[in-house]
């Protein structure tokens, strides 16, 4: 027994010496380099270890929204029930006291919040050799009096995070502008996210304006970043580098999530003859790497392809969305996104239907088959509906445009019922982290009838807000 105690003391002393040596090295190096850059190297390495632990437990990629870290001491941390005093393992109840690593006393504690609002906590020793995933997330006692203003050294994404919907599912809406009326109705619908589309040419300043507007209204923000397909065609590598720098700056300024491009399987958005999931993945990889270097908490969503089966009719101009996502998967896209972006916008039946569409039974007609269409290629990835809506021409004051005649019989009441059911089914799927409703308050009614998708109707009413609010309160 004495030999065992001596061994523990020696190992404890060695660990303590190593921790102090590392901290001394950080301090000495900081004399000649930027403090954040030096400390950041060690913190980023530890953060990745913590993230890997959580993803291993989840069996899927983790979409981080916010993270904090604490320089922690596990030698005498306080009450065992809340925090413990038995080394790095004192936050794990399943490890018996005699088997806890009592000699690993110093390191980083990471608290990570995901897109659904769930918080995880992991610990990593200063030498990176030891780590553990905690049972629950607790603020270390030494920092308890400083939360939330100074809970971390430093704190990332410190803006208040609204409570999310039930079962790890969040709801949001795409807005033409976030005015007070729209924000009020969105909150009544249970929405905690807002989406705005941002062209690269609009500049970072416009993105910061969107970020500040969302935060001021207590929403998390998804920026749908789109670029210039002609510039992409003339200098692919150069434009991808420009895009990567652009999204990195948005992440650095607090964007909660960024969708990389929009419907890249159409020549309306991507250069004719160059549409391919592997080519898009090159862009996604560059953007993901730049974003995570700037702010690991920013969620990266792949650009949702347009639901279509027209590839055979329009060679070079269209790639079917399932083929496009298959190409992405084969190119390794799962490594470069936190969430797979999907669109669904051509339904004329309840999302619970899987047959009966009078047009045909093509998979893009139905909610369920559209969800599986992308999920099948990325079994370990979360799904983000970045555009989901139902078109109704009721009350628009003019006939529905000819190319959208397929939706002529959809009523506003059906739109409201179906959008709420889509939220329920998304939540119940266990795969969907985020559903962005297309749309909240667009008014355009012409060849592109955006106003017919809007929850807020021309008379100012919002039947869909009431049905969504009820759906989001269920099982909350």
Q: Tell the burial category of 355 from Cβ atoms under 10 Å away from its Cβ (0-12, 13-18, 19+).
A: exposed
Buried b (16+ CB within 10 A) or exposed e, 328-338: bbebebbebbb
Query: 387 forms bridges with which residues in the sheet?
Result: 343
Element (H, E) at 23: helix 2-30
- What pLDDT does 28 receive? 32
Contact 196, 225 (CB under 8 A): no
Q: How far apart are CA 57 and CA 60, in angstroms?
A: 8
Q: Note every long-range contact of 396-404, with CB atoms under 8 Å and residues 24 or more positions apart, other chains counting.
A: 396/445, 396/449, 396/451, 396/452, 396/458, 397/445, 397/458, 398/445, 400/449, 400/452, 401/446, 401/447, 401/448, 401/449, 403/447, 404/449, 404/452
- What pLDDT does 144 receive? 64
Q: How far apart are CA 72 and CA 91, in angstroms?
A: 13
CA 455 distance to own-chain centroid: 23
All structural domains of the chain, each given as residue ranges with its CATH number in brackets, are: 2-156 (no CATH), 166-473 (3.20.20.80)
Regions in the chain scoring below 50 on pLDDT: 1-39, 77-84, 147-167
Contact 84, 77 (CB under 8 A): yes
- What pLDDT does 38 receive? 36
- What pLDDT does 90 receive? 82
- What pLDDT does 354 receive? 96
- What pLDDT does 146 receive? 52
- What pLDDT does 253 receive? 97
Q: How far apart are CA 275 and CA 155, in angstroms?
A: 40
Residue-wise pLDDT tens digits, 228-269: 999 999 999 999 999 999 999 999 999 999 999 999 999 999
Q: What is the DSSP letter of 224?
A: E
Torsion, CA 108, CA 94, CA 11, CA 84, rounded to 10:
60
- What pLDDT does 65 receive? 67
- What pLDDT does 452 receive? 98
Q: How far apart are CA 365 and CA 371, in angstroms?
A: 11
- What pLDDT does 62 receive? 79
Tokens of 366: 């139905």
- What pLDDT does 476 receive? 55
Q: CB under 8 Å to 421, separation ≥6 — which residues?
A: 350, 351, 352, 471
Q: How far apart are CA 219 and CA 187, in angstroms?
A: 9
């Amino acid at each position: 027994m004495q030999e065992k105690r001596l061994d523990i003391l020696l190992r404890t002393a060695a660990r303590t010496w190593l921790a102090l040596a590392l901290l001394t090295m950080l301090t000495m190096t900081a004399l000649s380099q930027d403090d954040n850059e030096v400390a950041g190297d060690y913190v980023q390495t530890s953060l990745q270890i913590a993230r890997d632990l959580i993803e291993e437990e989840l069996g899927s990629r983790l979409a981080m929204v916010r993270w904090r870290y604490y320089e922690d001491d596990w030698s005498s941390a306080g009450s065992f029930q809340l925090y413990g005093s038995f080394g790095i393992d004192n936050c794990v109840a399943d490890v018996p006291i005699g088997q806890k690593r009592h000699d690993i006393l110093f390191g980083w504690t990471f608290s990570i919040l995901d897109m659904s609002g769930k918080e995880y906590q992991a610990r990593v020793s200063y030498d990176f050799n030891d780590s553990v995933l905690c049972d629950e997330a607790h603020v270390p006692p030494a920092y308890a009096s400083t939360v939330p203003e100074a809970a971390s050294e430093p704190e990332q994404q410190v803006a208040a995070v609204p409570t999310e919907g039930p079962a790890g599912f969040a709801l949001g809406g795409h807005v033409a502008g976030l005015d007070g009326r729209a924000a009020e109705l969105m909150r009544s619908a249970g929405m905690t996210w807002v989406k705005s589309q941002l062209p690269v040419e609009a500049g970072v300043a416009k993105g910061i304006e969107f970020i500040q507007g969302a935060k001021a209204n207590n929403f998390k923000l998804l920026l749908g970043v789109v670029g210039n397909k002609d510039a992409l065609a003339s200098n692919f590598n150069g434009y991808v580098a420009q895009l990567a720098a652009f999204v990195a700056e948005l992440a650095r300024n607090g964007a909660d999530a960024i969708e990389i491009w929009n419907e890249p399987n159409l020549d309306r958005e991507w250069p004719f003859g160059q549409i391919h999931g592997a080519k898009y993945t090159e862009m996604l990889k560059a953007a993901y790497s730049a974003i995570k270097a700037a702010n690991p908490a920013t969620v990266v969503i792949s650009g949702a392809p347009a639901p279509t089966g027209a590839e055979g009719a329009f060679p070079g101009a269209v790639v079917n969305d399932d083929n496009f996502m298959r190409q992405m998967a084969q190119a390794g896209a799962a490594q470069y996104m936190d969430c797979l972006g999907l669109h669904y916008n051509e339904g004329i039946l309840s999302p619970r239907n899987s047959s009966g569409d009078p047009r045909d039974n093509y998979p893009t007609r139905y909610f369920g088959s559209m969800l599986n269409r992308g999920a099948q290629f990325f079994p370990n990835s979360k799904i983000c509906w970045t555009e989901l809506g139902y078109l109704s021409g009721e009350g628009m004051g003019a006939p529905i445009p000819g190319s959208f005649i397929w939706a002529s019989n959809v009523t506003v009441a059906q739109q409201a019922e179906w959008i709420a059911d889509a939220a329920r089914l998304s939540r119940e799927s266990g795969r969907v982290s985020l559903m962005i409703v297309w749309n909240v308050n667009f008014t355009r009614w012409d060849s592109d009838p955006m106003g017919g998708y809007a929850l807020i109707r021309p008379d100012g009413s919002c039947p869909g807000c009431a049905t969504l609010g009820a759906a989001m309160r269920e099982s909350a």
